[in-house]
Amino acid sequence: MSELSDVNRIMRIDVIKILLKHHPVLIDMLLTQDHENFNVEATPEKLDLNDRGDMLVRLAWDFWNGAGDSEFDSLLNQLAQDDFEAFAEAVALYSKLRRKVMAIYASGAEND
């Protein structure tokens, strides 16, 4: 394997491990036993998971081989690097907002 192929595989596997870090069962389903390669037999259709699991598996597949003609593929592979980094910053900020909104709902203060 070329150095580019190795780096590409390793980085994609690492991204998938981060995406699924709260779902070790999904990691075990999607990666080979040694967690060094992607199990291409573990398609979303074959796994027949609940909605959340299905969505995560589909995202993992998109990270593994690209999403094809979709908005997610455009975000991952077609944005200019500076725009991609701005997108990543926006997602990080949205994550903070989401945590704040969820905390307000959890406290019951949304109607105050």
Over residues 50-77, the pLDDT tens digits come to 888 988 998 898 888 865 666 777 888 8
- pTM for this predicted structure: 0.76
Q: Domain extents for the chain?
A: 1-77, 79-112
**Three-state secondary structure of the chain:** CCHHHHHHHHHHHHHHHHHCCCCHHHHHHHECCCCCCECCCCCHHHHCCCHHHHHHHHHHHHHHHCCCCCHHHHHHHHCCHHHHHHHHHHHHHHHHHHHHHHHHHHHCHHHC
Kindly indicate the confidence band of residue 20, based on its pLDDT and cuts at 50, 70 and 90: very high
Measured distance CA(12)–CA(97) in Å, rounded: 28
pLDDT at 110 over 70: no
Residue bearing the bigger pLDDT, 74 or 22: 22
CB 53 within 8 A of CB 47: yes
